[in-house]
Chains A and B, each alone.
Chain A
Amino acid sequence: MGIKSFSRARAIHVMLVYTGGCNGCDIEIVNSILSPRFDAEQYKVFLTWNPREADVLVVTGPVTHLNRKPLEAIYEAIPNPKLVVAAGSCALMGGVYKNCHGDIPSEEIEGPVENVIPVNAKIPGCAVRPQDVLAGVVSLLPTLLDAD
């Protein structure tokens, strides 16, 4: 293991972008980092709000129209190597908003996230559990370590 992989494994900066879900996933993810019970920092995962600092972008929610461009802009702002984690069933497949409708389908959903930006890992769940979020981010480690 070179010094590059070694240092990458010991400091992972995660940025969270919510793109119009129901808030459930957002709060669970913030919870998994802010609550002392889960405390992501002990696994060397740090929460940041600056795209220039981030390595991993965690996206929740189906991407609504007004959120598409901000999401793309933030994705562009992250320096390489960068990885994207889609968390929650809305981010994976549009959730109930895209797939479960009566007479009129919703026209507001641009998602799933895959349609907008490339996704490296998917965390299922409605809402995602904090344990799953940590597991998902940590499961990206091999990809992150081998990237240039």
Chain B
Amino acid sequence: MFENILTNPIFAVVITVLVCFIISTLLPGIERKYIHARIQQRIGPPVTSPGIMAPLKFMFKENVKVSSPVPGLYKSLPVICFIVVLCVMIALTPQAYMIPALASLVAIVGFLKVEEICYVLMGALSKSVMSVNMPFPDQIKGAAHNNANRSFIEDISAKRSLRMITYGSFPLYLALFAPVTAAGSIFLQDIVSFQQVNGPFLFTVSGGIAAIVFFIGYMIILNEYPFSIIKAKSDVIEGPYMEYAAKYRAVVVITRGFFMFVLGAIFSVLFIGVPPTIMSWGILINIAVALIFVFMMGIFSAFSPVFTNRQLLPTILGATLLGILSIVLGLL
């Protein structure tokens, strides 16, 4: 009876996802305390504060009436984001390889695209108090362009997210497809088994370049500091997340930590060939990869200012070219 439960694939998936989720809540704290605070020569917050305690606290806050034209949709978006990230995580576990439609790169790319579209919708639907809604008499006699069309700061953020969809996330997707050229299949099962036979894809020339491109794409899709134009503090404050309060903000915070882990897991599946499962010690490699990525991202973001479109375009162009190079090398 007991053995039946242990070997039940659904049980294994649930336990794997749960363990990964718990570890992922620590990641924002690790980034803040051990990277940013260390570099800035201060003590920094406790590890548990940003990732675990803050969402818990938000859970217990009273809900507010969201200032948005479609409050229902706006509130559901972070939940959709979380479900999408959860689906990607499930697709990565070896037990899910039985369903080829789920455990393929096309499905993962699709899920990531949904995530990106959510940012656009969030930005477009959020109407916070910090810009147009601020009760301040500035459209008065003598002011410039009194009849101009007025936008909220989140609207800029929505436009920027759209730009990110069109070209910003190119490097990540190119890097995702680089292993396909080596394995010759878009199914995760084939990619993993190919690497278990031929050694990790990371240690080939094409894989090495693709890993760098993946890292740039990882920072872009997580909106971490040099690439955080959709939520840059210097103009759009928090961008798409402006209006989330209480439970919904808790989901937003949790999703971010979980997304960091899941992207790390994608890397370990595609480039090292170790799928996350509680059934083997390989999960330690997944955790290590996620941690290394968080460490690298923390160091990068602590030492770089926010990019504007002017710097962003060349960076993304360069990364895209590298990604194409890695795919070409893989095909040769």
Contact = CB atoms under 8 A, between A and B. Distances in A.
Q: Do A's and B's CB atoms come within 8 Å in the complex? A: yes
Interface stretch (B110-118, B167-175, B207-215, B238-246): B238-246
Interface string A1-27: 001101110110100000000000000
A80 B61 CA distance: 6
Contacts of B233: 49
Contacts of B44: 39, 41-42
Interface in A64-78: 66, 69-70, 72-74, 76-77
Contacts of A42: 42-45
A118 interface: no
Nearest to A148: B62
A132 interface: no
B28 to A, nearest CB: 11
Interface residues of B, number: 41
A7 B245 CA distance: 16
Interface in B171-188: none
A4 B43 contact: no
A4 B61 CA distance: 10
11 contacts: A4-B60, A6-B56, A36-B40, A36-B41, A39-B44, A42-B44, A50-B237, A52-B243, A69-B135, A79-B62, A81-B61
Given A7-B52, A42-B43, 20 more contacts: A4-B60, A10-B48, A10-B57, A11-B49, A39-B37, A39-B42, A41-B42, A42-B44, A46-B45, A49-B130, A50-B241, A51-B130, A52-B245, A69-B135, A70-B134, A70-B135, A73-B135, A74-B129, A77-B64, A80-B61
